[in-house]
Amino acid sequence: MRILITGGTGLIGRHLCKALLEEGHQLTVLSRHPETVAVKCGAAAQAMISLDEWQPERFFDAVINLAGEPIVDEHWSARRKQVLRESRITLTEKLVQRVAAAKQKPKVLLSGSAIGYYGDRGDTELDDAAPAGKDFAAKLCKDWEEAALVAEKHAVRVCLLRTGLVLSKSGGLLGRMLLPFKLGLGARLGDGRQWMSWIHIEDYVALVLRLLNDDQMRGPFNMSAPQPVTNAEFTRTLAKLLHRPAFLFAPKPVLRLAMGERAALLLEGQRVFPAKLVAAGGQFKYPELAGALDDLLHQ
């Protein structure tokens, strides 16, 4: 397939590009830094610096849309919130305009979202049909999904990737946690009762390939392992595998003071189940956390 991917240089994108190239697909990666594409995504990947390069005559079989400014890195000022929205929603709107203008439409659009779609839901078990939350992150995901769904008007199959916490050794949540945990400074966040719905990067990539190829799959998909854990259990499991203590905890008020509204990403959670993927026979090589972490730590 000829595939256009946005966010291909990111944590998920790099793993995905490698798998897509290995399967023999032709990749075009939209990036603000085209000179990095060959190194990050693979020598065979072509770079595109602007969507203006997608002229109506140009054909892609599939579009994968993962681009977005990192959500946890910076304080959520009004300006930052706007940047977070534009890098996802405005970019997706522009992408769908290109889909609409294309003489021959792509067959499928796989577009990013996150389990933050559901907002803070305590212990409630959330399948793919659960309603959206109301906080900033939830609204961001909802609007991002709605922008992508416009492609359905052009007879494009749309899958929405409601992504859980992707575990990879090369970055993301686990990449950030490893150093403090190795130093014995791993800490539960708040009371540790908030849910963490995680997924091993290998399973994530395999599931994206399934969504790409299976014409029956459409709509939202919870992209997380079938056994979510609480933050306390995550902390215990990681510390045990690293043979380090984890007696510390980061008090809620301190995190709220240091991070402001953004602290919700750490102190609130979603107990998500990949019901649609499981019903469609989706397989998880790493369904439980200890096995997933053990594999990643020994890579």
Instruction: Assess 70 for contact with ligand NAP (CB under 6 A).
Output: yes
| Whether 166 contacts 115, CB under 8 Å | no
Instruction: Assess 165 for contact with ligand NAP (CB under 6 A).
Output: yes
* CB nearer to ligand NAP: pick between 227 and 253: 227
DSSP for 60-76 reads -SEEEE-----SSSS--
The partner residues of 230 in beta bridges, in order of sequence, read: 195
Residue 235 carries which side chain, given as an amino acid letter?
T
Instruction: Assess 91 for contact with ligand NAP (CB under 6 A).
Output: yes
**Binds ligand NAP by CB under 6 A, chosen from 3, 4, 5, 13:** 13
Stretch that binds ligand NAP, among 62-70, 152-160, 208-216, 290-298 (CB under 6 A): 62-70
Closest CA to 239 of 287, 297, 286: 297
Site for ligand NAP in 126-145 (CB under 6 A): none
For the chain, the maximum distance between any two Cα atoms, rounded to a whole number of angstroms, is 60
* CB nearer to ligand NAP: pick between 92 and 235: 92
Q: Residue 127: left (phi > 0), alpha (psi -120 to 50), or beta? A: beta
Assigned token pair, 76: 């959520």
Instruction: Assess 119 for contact with ligand NAP (CB under 6 A).
Output: no
Assigned token pair, 199: 């997924």
* CB nearer to ligand NAP: pick between 33 and 153: 33
* CB nearer to ligand NAP: pick between 66 and 255: 66
Instruction: Assess 45 for contact with ligand NAP (CB under 6 A).
Output: no
Element (H, E) at 157: strand 157-163
Stretch that binds ligand NAP, among 30-38, 211-219, 256-264, 283-291 (CB under 6 A): 30-38
Rg (CA), the chain: 19
CB of 141 to ligand NAP, least distance (A): 8
CB of 244 to ligand NAP, least distance (A): 23
Instruction: Assess 176 for contact with ligand NAP (CB under 6 A).
Output: no
CA–CA dist 284, 120 (Å, integer): 25
The helix/strand/coil state of 8 is coil
Residues 6+ apart with CB under 8 A from 222: 115, 126, 127, 128, 162, 164, 197, 272, 273, 274, 275, 276, 277
Nearest residue relative to ligand NAP (C-beta): 10
Q: Crossing angle, helix 172-182 and helix 231-241, to 10 degrees?
A: 60
* CB nearer to ligand NAP: pick between 166 and 255: 166
Instruction: Assess 74 for contact with ligand NAP (CB under 6 A).
Output: no
Place of tokens 């830094």: 33
CB of 9 to ligand NAP, least distance (A): 4
**Binds ligand NAP by CB under 6 A, chosen from 23, 33, 124, 170:** 33
Instruction: Assess 31 for contact with ligand NAP (CB under 6 A).
Output: yes
- Residues forming the site for ligand NAP (CB under 6 A): 7, 9-13, 31-33, 66-71, 87, 91, 112, 114, 163, 165-166, 172-173
